[in-house]
Amino acid sequence: MNNSRKALLPIISCLVIQICVGILYLWSVFKVPVMNAFDWTMEAATMVSSYMLFAFCAGNLIGGILNDKKGPRLTATAGVIMFSAGIGLTGLLTKETVGLMNLTYCVLGGLGSGFAYAACISCLQKWLPHRKGLASGMAVSAFAFSTVIFTPVSQALMDAHTVNGIVDFKPVFLTLAAVFFVFGFIGTFFVRLPDSAYVKSLPAVPASSKVHTGRDCTLKEAVKTLPFWCIFLEILFINGTWTLSIPLIKTLGMQRGLSEAAAVAVLSITGIFNAGGRLVMAAISDKIGRTAAIIVLSVLTLIGAILMILGVPGAGFVIAICIIAFGYGGPASINAAFTTDFFGPKNSGTNYGVAMLALGLSSILFNTISSKLLQGDPTATYIMAAFSAVIPIILMAIINNQLKKVKQQKAADTACEL
């Protein structure tokens, strides 16, 4: 069997699983109907996406450790089961038990999503070690594309189970959980790592694109380096604008002149731009370098935040949100390759899992500041977002300086000693 055919089934399986566990960004569709159905407060409902995102990042870390020790099949299987169970149990909640949504939807669902995500992205990088950026881009694009597929599906399910303006979420979440479990669980049977013969037969990575110099760093070694913390802080700040936008897209879109149907459609459209940013910028980063790609995405995010500050209505709002979605999508794939570049593929699940904690911290930090200190004011919120988009540019300048030292010293273990 030739290489392309040998890799095809594991790669497709990982992408299917990513689509199944990728509804992380779908909360904007559920938020208001959940508030109405369960008599939940705006503040509590707004924080759901932040809590789930933090649990997802924790799942990346725990799942990454499990993946490095036991492999991607077991990790992905555990992730699919936890994720499906979390969504299904959410469908059994009532007004009296709605507070448990933070455990079912957020913690169990988020952890499961993180487990599967960590397994699939690591697996794809090992099947395509000569194209790490493209591998990461494919994995996280499929994850983001889930929004495109399941936004209209979820809306149709809610419409079909609405009585007197109130959605019965039991059949909605149970149906989604069943779909995710069936397709995701089938996918796990075909997840596996490549054999040594396959890896040896692949094209060599061009020397000009190498940052990793041959030594695989443990987490203990990685966290002692300046590049690791630059990547961690870059993830923290570059994602702030999007995490602030997730719970606002539908309601803010309607305030800016869109109909409810159009505002829901915008959420699907952002999924396309999110996925596009992940795939396009990951591949581009293989050509122009990770730092240059992050700088481009930071500038785009800044432009999107400025447009939101200006209060652009209608089509302008759609353009601004799509720019922000694209700017968020790109780093999601680049950073996975970034950490592997510096610290090697052997412990990539653990190293990237720790770096990804910054994404969960970003979600809770920025949304808490927005809701508590800024009282949810959109203008003040996006002013904060604009400032946060500038910081990654400075961090990339610091990493570029470190890369110059790597090239000058030409030492095999320089990346672990910076």
**Per 3-state DSSP, what percentage of the chain is helix, strand, and coil (rounded to 5)?**
80, 0, 15
Please provide the distance, in angstroms rounded to a whole number, between the alpha carbons at the two ends of the chain.
42
The residues with which 167 forms a beta bridge, in sequence order, are: 162
Token pair, residue 325, equals 């979605």
CA atoms within 13 A on the CB side of 397: 6
Q: Other CB atoms closer than 10 Å to residue 408's CB: what's the count? A: 9
Q: Would you tell me how many other CB atoms lie within 10 Å of the CB of residue 130? A: 14
CATH number (domain holding residue 138)? 1.20.1250.20
Q: Which of 294, 293, 299 is nearest to 235 (CA)?
A: 294
d(CA 76, CA 116): 4
Give the residue among 339, 398, 384, 52 at the shortest CA–CA distance from 237.
384
Distance set, CA 283 to CA 136, 146, 187, 337 (Å): 9, 20, 25, 11
CA distance 395 to 234: 7
Please return the burial class of 171, using the count of CB atoms within 10 Å of its CB with bins 0-12, 13-18 and 19+: middle
CA 205 to chain centre: 26
Tell me how crowded residue 345 is: count the other CB atoms within 10 A of its CB. 17
Q: What does the alpha-carbon distance between residue 99 and residue 328 come to, in Å, rounded to a whole number?
A: 30
Name which of 234, 171, 274, 241 is nearest 382 in CA terms: 241
Coil vs helix vs strand at 69: helix
> What local confidence, expressed as pLDDT, does residue 416 receive?
53
> CA 85, CA 174: separation in Å to the nearest integer?
9
Token pair belonging to 330: 């790109």
Residue 166's DSSP bridge partners are 163
Model pLDDT, residue 213: 47
pTM of the shown model: 0.75
Give the Cβ contact number of residue 181 at 10 Å: 18
Handedness of CA 256, 258, 262, 263 (dihedral sign): positive
The pLDDT profile of the chain, 418 residues, written as one tens digit per residue, is 556 677 889 989 999 999 999 887 788 788 889 999 999 988 788 788 878 888 998 898 899 889 888 889 999 999 999 999 999 999 999 999 999 999 999 999 999 999 999 899 888 888 887 776 677 778 878 887 888 888 889 989 999 999 988 999 999 999 999 999 999 999 999 998 888 777 777 766 554 444 544 568 888 888 888 889 999 999 999 988 988 887 778 788 888 988 888 888 887 788 788 878 887 887 788 788 888 999 999 999 999 999 999 989 989 999 999 999 999 888 877 887 788 878 887 777 788 888 888 888 887 888 888 877 887 788 898 999 999 999 999 999 998 887 777 666 655 454 455 5
Q: For residue 304, which of 290, 291, 321, 316 has the smallest C-alpha distance?
A: 321
Local structure of 21: helix, strand or coil: coil
Domains in the chain: how many in total? 1
354 contacts: CB under 8 Å, gap ≥ 6: 61, 64, 219, 222, 223, 232
What the block records as the tokens of 70 is: 């036991």
State the pLDDT at residue 414: 46
Q: With contact defined as beta carbons under 8 Å apart, do 56 and 78 qualify?
A: no
Q: Is the distance from CB of 326 to CB of 349 less than 8 angstroms?
A: no
User: Considering Cα of 310, then 315, then 317, then 321, what sign does the dihedral take?
Assistant: negative
Instruction: Write out the residue range of the structural domain in which residue 206 sits.
Output: 3-416
Amino acid at 353: G
